[in-house]
Chain A
């Protein structure tokens, strides 16, 4: 026990001495949660609209007003000489609403009349939303002008757990999952590889410290740092996006500690294997950050990833953890809904411990 404490105390003091790591530990979760939450939002806002009304009748103006009145649009130009193609090419407009001549006359005559929405297709996400918005506005124009043509079936959609359908909340939780594995892994990797790089590992080898004591002693302070990050990330999410702890947070907490431990242990494993700080940092960036980002289902549904690589996602702890975080913070779920994920995470943590332990089992230099 004294030896574990000596090891932990040393690691903790070293961490505390490095102001860069200290700052990053606190800032990283806050920044990542906010940055991901705010910048990845697909909620369209201020869609740039250019209107070209070649008809200019009372009806066409009413049609156009339906669009201008919609909250998402921001009118850039109306009936100017602006070349339509050019407006879209330079990105000045995202949608051009083109009303053909005789639009009003055709409608009054009971004939169908077609307006065109030219949408910048380079951003297909926004294009999709624009297409839906355009057809919804068209329908509402029709319903208003001619109640007989109002849609017979109206679908009322309720979004549970997230009525405003804010994707900021959702990206923020994922970002928490990214930070809580990446940063602890980085710390673990640096701690382990630094010992090899500076040769200080010899102190531990030359003493009677056992491998298990070493692994636990080294990992402990970094898991604690991870827990502090969890609190920072959670608080910033709570303030910015209204995260809320579930009534029974034990499942969430157990999963978090397990998840952080996986990060630290994986980092230590990489650090011992590479023995070089810079290589292990790169390995962590690639192996932890990028893979988690891609294969955790945090940015887009995993279903769309080709089968050939999709199976990899079962080995990515972030896949389970992101589920747990979302469930706990956004749906107030607990053991009943995510027990299995928590158990898998704790299992992976044990596996990580075994991995590092078997690596340093001999406590001496390799031949």
Chain B
């Protein structure tokens, strides 16, 4: 046992010395993740602003002016032009000079007066589908608010008409855990998981294949150390950095985006360590199939988008086709992100998170075990 510890320490110290001489690697593991996090937190905001908007008021009544004024006050729509004919409006669309067209058809005020549904026509360039959907949502919400106002104005009239009196149902939507609806929390938690995983696998494959490239692997396998010892020692320093990176990211996310950590810190740390093992296991496994850095990196880079995108870190798993949903079941990142979100935003505890935690642990054991097994066999 003491020999095991001595060898393990020698191996770890070697890795630490190598790490110390590679400040680039230390830098790569701590700084870019944090920067990425901040950039993505901002960049992946689906809110839309300043869409180039053209309006066309064919009704020219106070009612039409009122609704147009209300809509163009929104930050999303910035009026660029006022057209008088639909052909002009359509042409502007085809020239890509506008993104949104709002058209009040003739007879709008008359319909409103008569209690018939009055129609407002809106054209949105649907190519950038998510922005278009968000813009459409803003618009519908604004129109709904406007309707509310109109109804309230009209209410006395309705009552006089003696129509059946049914109360108004209302729905109060409450965003649990995130009442301010901070978009960045979703992406920031995704990035924290993704960075841990992608960085872990990339670095692990690089350091594992380096031994093979330089030829020191034979020497290592000839020494009294076992494969598990060698790999554990390889894993330890990088893993510490990865987890450190995760903590720095979390704190930065707290400072910049106000991301809370409502659950247990210990559990958070544990999940980071377990997932780190899985990521490095994946990297080492890929390294055993490559003969040089270049191959290892290409392979890792090819595998990582699958891991990343199937995990549901960026979009709901249920929105994906079935096959991707199945793939996500064996994706360790899926469970890591679930745990991260559970512990930060939702404040869940182990009792609630035992399922993803268990799945993550099983996958980690499988991946790391496979890599240890392959590591010994790769010379044959």
A and B touch in the complex (CB under 8 A): yes
Q: What are 13 A-B pairs at a CB distance below 8 A?
A: A24-B302, A108-B166, A113-B168, A118-B176, A122-B341, A138-B171, A148-B163, A152-B115, A153-B150, A157-B136, A167-B130, A169-B129, A300-B44
Which residue of A107, A132, A145 has the most chain B CB atoms within 10 A of its CB atom? A132
Contact of B137 among A128, A156, A158, A338 (CB under 8 A): A128
In the complex, residue of chain A having the shortest beta-carbon distance to the beta carbon of B90 = A160
- In this assembly, does B133 line the interface, its C-beta being within 8 Å of a C-beta of chain A? yes
- In this assembly, does B326 line the interface, its C-beta being within 8 Å of a C-beta of chain A? no
- In this assembly, does A242 line the interface, its C-beta being within 8 Å of a C-beta of chain B? no
Given contacts A152-B112, A167-B133, contact A305 B95 (CB under 8 A): no
Contact of A305 among B42, B309, B321 (CB under 8 A): B42
**Do A138 and B132 have beta carbons less than 8 Å apart?**
no
Interface size of A as a range: 35 or more
Give residues in A with beta carbon < 8 Å to B: 20-21, 24, 27-28, 31-32, 35-36, 38-48, 63, 85-86, 88-91, 103, 106-132, 134-139, 141-142, 145-163, 165-167, 169-170, 186, 190, 194, 277-278, 281-282, 285-286, 290, 294-295, 299-306, 309, 326-327, 330-331, 333, 336-338
- In this assembly, does B85 line the interface, its C-beta being within 8 Å of a C-beta of chain A? no
In the complex, residue of chain B having the shortest beta-carbon distance to the beta carbon of A323 = B96
- Please indicate the chain A residues that have their CB under 8 angstroms from the CB of B292 in the complex: 277
Bits for B100-129, please: 1 = Cβ < 8 Å to A, else 0. Answer: 000000000000100101111111111111
Given contacts A32-B305, A128-B137, A128-B181, contact A120 B125 (CB under 8 A): no
In the complex, residue of chain B having the shortest beta-carbon distance to the beta carbon of A164 = B126
**Do B42 and A121 have beta carbons less than 8 Å apart?**
no
**Do A161 and B125 have beta carbons less than 8 Å apart?**
yes
Given contacts A148-B158, A294-B39, contact A303 B50 (CB under 8 A): yes
Give residues in B with beta carbon < 8 Å to A: 28, 32, 36, 39-40, 42-50, 67, 93-96, 112, 115, 117-134, 136-137, 139-141, 143-144, 146-147, 150-151, 154, 158, 161, 163-179, 181-183, 185-186, 189, 206, 292-295, 297-299, 301-302, 305-306, 309-310, 314-316, 318-321, 324, 338, 341-342, 345-348, 352-353, 355
Name the distance in Å between A303's Cβ and chain B's nearest Cβ.
Answer: 5
Name the distance in Å between B147's Cβ and chain A's nearest Cβ.
Answer: 4
Please list the 7 inter-chain residue pairs (A to B) with the smallest Cβ-Cβ separation, ordered nearest first. A121-B178, A159-B126, A162-B126, A121-B175, A167-B129, A278-B293, A304-B45
Docked Cα-Cα span, A85 to B169, in Å, equals 24
**Do B174 and A117 have beta carbons less than 8 Å apart?**
yes
**Do B318 and A300 have beta carbons less than 8 Å apart?**
no
Docked Cα-Cα span, A129 to B154, in Å, equals 30
